[in-house]
A = this chain, B = another copy of it.
Amino acid sequence: MVTKISDKKSKKLGKSTYQFENPPTIISSATVTGPKEGVGPYGKYFDKVYGDTIIGEKSFEKAEAKMMEDAVNLAMQKGDVTEKDIDVFLAGDLLNQTITSNFNALQLGIPFLGLYGACSTFVESILLASMLIDGNFAKKALIATSSHNSSAERQYRFPTEYGGQRPPYSQHTVTGSGSAVLAYAGIGPKVTHGTIGKVMDMGIKDPWNMGAAMAPAAADTIVNIFNDTNTTPDDYDLLVTGDLGLFGSKINEELIASQGIDISKIYQDCGAEIFDSTQDTHSGGSGCACCTVMSLGYFLKQDKYRKIIVVATGALHSPTTYQQGENIPTIAHGIIIQK
């Protein structure tokens, strides 16, 4: 067999950005959180806020799975679709073997592609869903991500019941889940571009210091987005990063400024926003759910933001690699959304 390539038209711009021919639409979305997120400054924007973090389940892992189940069902309901209308489910989470996503995929019965991008998974899933839709492989795709403070802290650092002290630059893993339905047509924000990140390591070894570890990956992807699409911060209403937190977002801003690009007028970070200074969350929120619930629940819903860059960052270490003395490798994926 010989492939004819004469009519091959690449959708790639520059280094690592892809422009969609028919920008897929986010036709519906839903967000679910725990109580701490609910009493935070953005609590009223989340669709469902639970009053505790175990929500009647037997374990924190099952509580996390239930939150994703809620988010997925609510997103489908809002989009007026059922499992049968969806071609593919793309999901991932922080837990070992991405079990939250796997058990939800089991319940849904939709063909499933499992992803792992740590806290970058929200954008990774939207980016891939958009590629599958724009590539004529799917008409509708469902995405979901989640994190849970008690399941994530136990796995990555210490059980929350232990009550250990946390350094001032640490972040608080957000408890919650978000889900969205993307379609080849419909009413809603459109995903016009996506940028795949590359893995970076700037020498951070401290698993509490995620913001500093991830900032260089965020900066690299953001600069790539501007360069690849030949745009500047003036072309956008909002640039939002996932979970760099108060310290990491400052580092990100400075790294980008050092390349001559001033993002200060359009820049916000979900991790720096989701909690306020009275909530004892130190540098802010983190986790897959942080970027997901803030983007889907708040930023994409605000009329004033018409052209938005969302960059979700992920720390790709494991407790094993940290214990074996490795640095923390990180990644950041980006999407451009237009209304």
Contacts and interface: CB of A to CB of B under 8 A. Distances in A.
Interface in A115-146: 115-118, 124, 128, 131-132, 134-139
Contact of A136 (B59, B92, B135): B135
Interface stretch (A33-41, A47-55, A98-106, A287-295): A98-106
Q: How many copies does the complex hold?
A: 2
A324 B113 contact: no
Given A116-B114, A196-B113, A329 B106 contact: yes
A116 B118 contact: no
A201 B132 contact: no
A110 B196 CA distance: 9
A200 interface: yes
A11 interface: yes
Contacts of A326: 103
Given A11-B136, A111-B198, A128-B128, A3 B99 contact: no
A112 B96 CA distance: 20
A209 to B, nearest CB: 17
A46 interface: no
A12 B138 CA distance: 7
B9 A22 contact: no
A75 interface: no
A329 B99 CA distance: 9
Nearest to A117: B114
Nearest to A194: B137
Contacts of A116: 92, 97-98, 114-116
A266 interface: no
A58 B324 contact: yes
A18 interface: yes
Given A106-B200, A196-B111, A137 B338 contact: no
A139 B321 CA distance: 33
A43 B35 CA distance: 56
A106 B198 CA distance: 7
Contacts of A92: 116
Contacts of A318: 95-97, 99
A23 interface: yes
Given A15-B111, A112-B196, A116-B116, 5 more contacts: A8-B139, A11-B137, A59-B324, A112-B197, A114-B116
> Shortest 5 CB-CB distances between A and B: which pairs?
A135-B135, A111-B196, A97-B318, A102-B316, A106-B199
7 contacts: A1-B190, A4-B22, A15-B111, A58-B324, A105-B316, A131-B137, A135-B135
